[in-house]
């Protein structure tokens, strides 16, 4: 089955979720979207869902989805979401290793095993508990075994089931940074689906996110090292991470479409729209930088492009844009040469919106137009 077919099936499952919520039963939700996309795009197919449906990962997803909500534990309120995820995984690992330790204490009394099998199992359990020389990582491939996954789901408290929970948790912990990175790449590739908005202000905000993603090292939340992007073709093997991203966006026409559309639109509207002017764009970026701060703690003097921390807050973006245009219009009216008494009376066709340079009269007229006549 093709990867595209799996992705299409995921979309269809969410469309039909009210009628048949099987996708929720498979533990595909807000907490696991990124890891499920990574596994499907990596070609894991049906094993993706036997992995996600492991009881330990269901418990993890439930805790993450309830984080900060009405039913979450009060002592988690001051913990960042990433730290909460990390702590939840670690607590689950301790829990299931504890179960494995309990099995170790009763191992000698298991009459279904021979002495040799008991010895081998004891050695295996100790290696898992102590993670001897990266033992779990070396054996974590079992987490993607569909048949063993189904057996563990049906028998979570069995020896095999407990082992599967530990391998699944370690696998989730190892893959999460790459899942977050792939999710960021997909979100920044949605240039052709109007995800960046339908105004020049929203274009600029999306451009801020896209340029940061390409030009700055992408570091998944809570991780110290940036992700290194590579193109898996011999002729591109020497490209740096930034060069690989630029090649991707330019060769996939996504970058050209975004830049051409935004720059051409600004050129066309430059003389007739405040938001298309270079002054507006510079002021918007400067205000957003002062409000939200710099991304990844860049020094202000090094932040020549005025990058600001990413935001998808539609209300904030629209409000800042409206404030700037309102101030600009106010200045154009009240600080114009005509209002200051320096108008050129020889100009033909000039309409006097200044009420003969009476600022109070203009202000009252605007109030009447907005709120109506207070005497009515």
Give 112's DSSP letter. Answer: T
pLDDT average, residue stretch 159-164: 95
- By C-alpha distance, which of 232, 248, 230, 249 is closest to 240? 230
pLDDT at 198 over 80: no
Contact yes or no for 64/85 (Cβ under 8 A)? yes
Instruction: Give residue 279's pLDDT band: very low, low, confident or very high (50, 70, 90).
Output: confident
Is residue 277 classed as helix, strand or coil in its secondary structure?
coil
What the block records as the tokens of 218 is 């992408």
Neighbours of 131 (CB within 10 A): 15
Which tens digits make up the pLDDT trace of 131-157? Answer: 988 999 888 889 999 999 999 999 999
Q: 């789901």: which residue's tokens? A: 153
Q: 């390409």: which residue's tokens? A: 214
Lowest-pLDDT choice from 2-16, 182-196, 200-214, 343-357: 343-357
pLDDT at 221 over 80: no
Contact yes or no for 206/317 (Cβ under 8 A)? no
Name the more confident of 129 and 301.
129
Instruction: Give residue 211's pLDDT band: very low, low, confident or very high (50, 70, 90).
Output: confident
Q: How far apart are CA 97 and CA 141, in angstroms?
A: 18
Domain-by-domain residue ranges, the chain?
3-184, 190-335, 346-376
Task: Characterize 192-231 residue by residue with b for buried, 16 or more Cβ atoms within 10 angstroms of its Cβ, and e for exposed.
Answer: eeeebbeebbbbbbbbbbbebbbeeebebeeeeeebebee
pLDDT at 67 over 90: no
Alpha-helix residue ranges (DSSP H) falling in 189-313: 200-215, 241-251, 254-269, 278-292
Contacts of 24 (CB under 8 A, 6+ apart): 17
Neighbours of 173 (CB within 10 A): 16
Q: Quote the pLDDT of residue 71.
A: 46
Name the more confident of 300 and 21.
21
Query: C-alpha 192: how far from its chain's center?
Result: 18
* Largest separation between any pair of C-alpha atoms in the chain: 110
Q: Quote the pLDDT of residue 218.
A: 64
pLDDT average, residue stretch 37-42: 92
pLDDT at 350 over 80: no
What's 136-197 look like in SS3? Answer: HHHHHHHHHCHHHHHHHHHCCCCHHHHHHHHHHHHHHHHHHHHHHHHHHHHHHCHHHHCCCC
Q: How far apart are CA 1 and CA 43, in angstroms?
A: 9
Q: What is the pTM of this model?
A: 0.73
Q: How far apart are CA 239 and CA 207, in angstroms?
A: 23
- Count CA within 13 A, CB hemisphere, residue 66: 13
Which tens digits make up the pLDDT trace of 316-340? Answer: 999 999 988 888 887 776 665 555 5
Cα–Cα distances in Å, from 154 out to 34, 93, 354? 25, 20, 80
Instruction: Give residue 22's pLDDT band: very low, low, confident or very high (50, 70, 90).
Output: confident
């Amino acid at each position: 089955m093709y990867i595209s077919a799996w992705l299409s099936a995921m979309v269809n499952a969410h469309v039909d979720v009210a009628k048949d919520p099987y996708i929720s039963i498979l533990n595909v939700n807000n907490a696991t979207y990124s890891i499920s996309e990574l596994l499907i795009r990596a070609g894991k197919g049906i094993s993706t869902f036997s992995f996600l449906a492991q009881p330990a990962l269901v418990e993890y997803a439930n805790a993450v989805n309830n984080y900060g909500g009405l039913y979450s534990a009060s002592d988690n309120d001051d913990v960042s979401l990433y730290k909460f995820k990390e702590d939840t995984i670690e607590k689950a690992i301790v829990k299931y290793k504890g179960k494995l330790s309990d099995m170790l204490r009763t191992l000698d009394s298991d009459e279904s095993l021979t002495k040799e099998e008991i010895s081998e199992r004891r050695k295996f359990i100790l290696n898992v508990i102590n993670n001897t020389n990266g033992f779990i990582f070396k054996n974590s491939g079992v987490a993607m075994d569909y048949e063993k996954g189904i057996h563990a789901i049906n028998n979570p408290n069995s020896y095999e089931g407990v082992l599967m929970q530990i391998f699944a948790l370690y696998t989730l912990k190892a893959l999460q940074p790459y899942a977050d990175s792939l999710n960021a790449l997909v979100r920044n590739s949605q240039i052709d689906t109007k995800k960046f908005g339908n105004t020049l202000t929203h274009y600029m905000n999306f451009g801020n996110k896209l340029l940061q993603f390409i030009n700055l090292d992408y570091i998944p939340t809570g991780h110290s090292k940036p992700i290194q992007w590579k193109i898996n073709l011999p002729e591109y093997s020497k490209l740096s991470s930034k060069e690989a991203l630029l090649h991707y966006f330019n060769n996939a026409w996504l970058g050209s479409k975004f830049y051409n559309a935004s720059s051409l639109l600004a050129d066309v509207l430059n003389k007739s729209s405040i938001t298309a002017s270079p002054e507006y764009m510079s002021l918007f970026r400067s205000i957003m930088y002062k409000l939200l701060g710099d991304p990844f703690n860049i020094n202000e003097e090094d932040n020549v492009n005025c990058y600001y921390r990413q935001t998808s807050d539609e209300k904030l973006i629209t409000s800042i844009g409206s404030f700037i245009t309102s101030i600009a219009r106010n200045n154009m009216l009240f600080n114009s040469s005509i209002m200051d008494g320096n108008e050129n009376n020889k100009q033909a066709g000039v309409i006097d919106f200044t009420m003969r340079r009476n600022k109070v009269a203009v202000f009252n007229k605007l109030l009447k137009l907005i709120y109506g006549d207070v005497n009515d």
